[in-house]
Chains A and B, each alone.
Chain A
Amino acid sequence: MKAIEIKHLTKKYGKQVAVDNISLSVDKGEFFGFLGPNGAGKTTTIKCITGIATFDEGNITLFDTDVVKDYREARQRIGLSPQEFNIDFFGVTHKVLDYVAGYYGLHKEKRKERVEELLEQFELQDHRNKPFNTLSGGLKRRVTLARAMVHDPDILILDEPTAGVDVELRHDLWKHLRRLNECGKTIFLTSHYLEEVEMLCNRVAIINHGKIVADKPKEDYLKNGRKLEDMYLEITGGKVNYN
């Protein structure tokens, strides 16, 4: 069964085509990397999957559930960690997690248990009563990641989850994501750290100017001892200035 299936998705902002008739699918349990330069359409695609954005053409299903017709069922299965922080500035950490768990219908006792688990996992216990706007960038990222996982979703969509995160947490996060993936969770990851994608993902798609320009198993990019970064630059037509 496909965890995510996107068919002929087109999203326009006025006359600007942000995503241009893309189709891709992610298998259940897959660790999927979605790469592209800034403004290529990665975040827009994620917004269409999660319901933050509407789209003009095409359809998206999550485990065969249409994200428009059956939006509630579809949203129950996704956890989103967005690129930009979108948490109540004045909300304190444990309450933010508790409220979001509530939106997903978790009972009080289960919520409490889950919030404590995540506070420990992301080393946020000392910051549990601090308002979001007083946290450092790295801590904010941790809260955002914990929030995405609060309802134990089947699909985790992580839009640049390690941006602004220190090396220790990044390594912890990689370990944790691997563990989640081994437990059967599907992970959809975008990142500008290509070594991270190379290390974690089974399959990688590249989007450029709103179109999918590559979609294949990771190994196919790494033939003849090449690095994902070299292939990525070649495919997107990017140039590296070594001076």
Chain B
Amino acid sequence: MSSSTARSASGPGEVLVAEDLGVSIDHRNGSSTRLVEGLDLVIQSGSSTAVVGRSGSGKTTLLSVLGLMRPPSAGRLYIAGRDVGTLRPSVAAGLRNELLGFVFQNYSLVEHLSVFENVALPLMYGRRATRPQVRERVERQLTAVGLREFGRRRPRSLSGGEQQRVAIARALVRGPRLVLADEPTGALDTATGTSVMKHLQEATVEAGAALIVVTHDDALADSLHRRVDLSSREAAVAL
């Protein structure tokens, strides 16, 4: 069972709350580098947030903290009202499966699985879904991203844009509360990137989830509800 505890101050519609959050990376020689300090952030369902900053500013590391892949170095973090600051790895894995969806920069689809199987991958872990439920959910997501007929194909037979849409379908198939995207258009040309982002935003809103996108692209950041700028160590949150 989860070792997380419910946050008494959790407000309605709040998907993620960070209080005085610090993010640092530890080095093998025992030293550490602080990347983010004192970040206060509230993410509402249906909202979209861009995380921007220069290279090496800690955007991806922050995303890994928000994605429960590493613990924060300071402060408190709540997701869906649960204190998720310090979790056992197996509990974190369960919460990632249940509450979060991920879209990676280079799609990260499993090459030897079909499109259908890739989208169904999150359903292989965590809460058990019956075979009809799996089929229904996967087909719904593939339909939403316009790839219903592509279920039997292998990822390598798809274009970059199509692969990223498959990744979006995979991120949403469990019905997550929060979708975390790391440079989702980084490997795509501008037109395809715009189309994929449109899909991602629409699908996320339709799923009632919140979206956090790490990006270098100012235009993309501007198209989202707000941005978190990590250019200085003390992150600035702007609407």
Physical interaction between A and B: no
B residues adjacent to A (C-beta < 8 A):
none
